[in-house]
Amino acid sequence: MKSEKNIKISPFAQQVYQITGKIKTGQVATYGQIAQAIKKPKATRAVGRALHNNPFAPQVPCHRVIKGNGEIGGFAGGSSKKAKLLKQEGVNIKDGKIDLKIYQATSIK
């Protein structure tokens, strides 16, 4: 995966972007779920940093990655923009949280 902006992408970030690209519209995954999928279960913060620097948005839908407790979490464009994008995709956000039982992606490995 090469960036159009000539940014050097680490192998770790490439893995994160590859897995994140598998999250379907109307679904979300957690930072921990991404870390598990790339076989680095303790790297949840590093997953977040890689997604914050995502040069492939919106093709790599980093707005679909949320906190493990269902909260929206950070977003380079601001959390309100992240919430707006998710709502446009059909994800219901109630009291600042997303119900993972309903919206969590199950096939991103």
Q: How many residues does the chain have?
A: 109
pLDDT above 90 covers a percentage of the chain that reads 82
3-state secondary structure of 88: helix
Decide: 24 and 65 in contact? Cβ < 8 Å: no
Q: Is 62 a catalytic residue?
A: yes
Range 84-101 average pLDDT: 96
Instruction: Please count the structural domains in the chain.
Output: 1
pLDDT at 107: 81
User: What's the angle, vertex CA 72, arms to CA 32 and CA 101, rounded to 5?
Assistant: 65
Q: Could you tell me the pLDDT band of residue 8, with boundaries at 50, 70 and 90?
A: confident
Q: What CATH number did the domain enclosing 95 receive? A: 1.10.10.10
Tell me, yes or no, whether 70 lies in a domain: yes
Task: Quick: pLDDT tens for 12-51.
Answer: 999 999 999 999 999 999 999 999 999 999 999 999 999 9
Position 85 pLDDT exceeds 70: yes
pLDDT at 3: 46
Tell me, yes or no, whether 108 lies in a domain: no
Decide: 72 and 96 in contact? Cβ < 8 Å: yes
Q: What's the pTM?
A: 0.91
CA distances from 23 to 6, 15, 76, 108 (A): 25, 14, 18, 6
Domain that holds residue 40: 11-103
- Among residues 62, 65, 93, 108, the one annotated as catalytic is 62
Q: Please name the residue that has the structure tokens 């991103």.
A: 108
Tell me, yes or no, whether 4 lies in a domain: no
Q: Could you tell me the pLDDT band of residue 2, with boundaries at 50, 70 and 90?
A: very low
CA 98 to chain centre: 13
Position 1 pLDDT exceeds 80: no
pLDDT at 108: 84
Tell me, yes or no, whether 42 lies in a domain: yes
Tell me, yes or no, whether 61 lies in a domain: yes
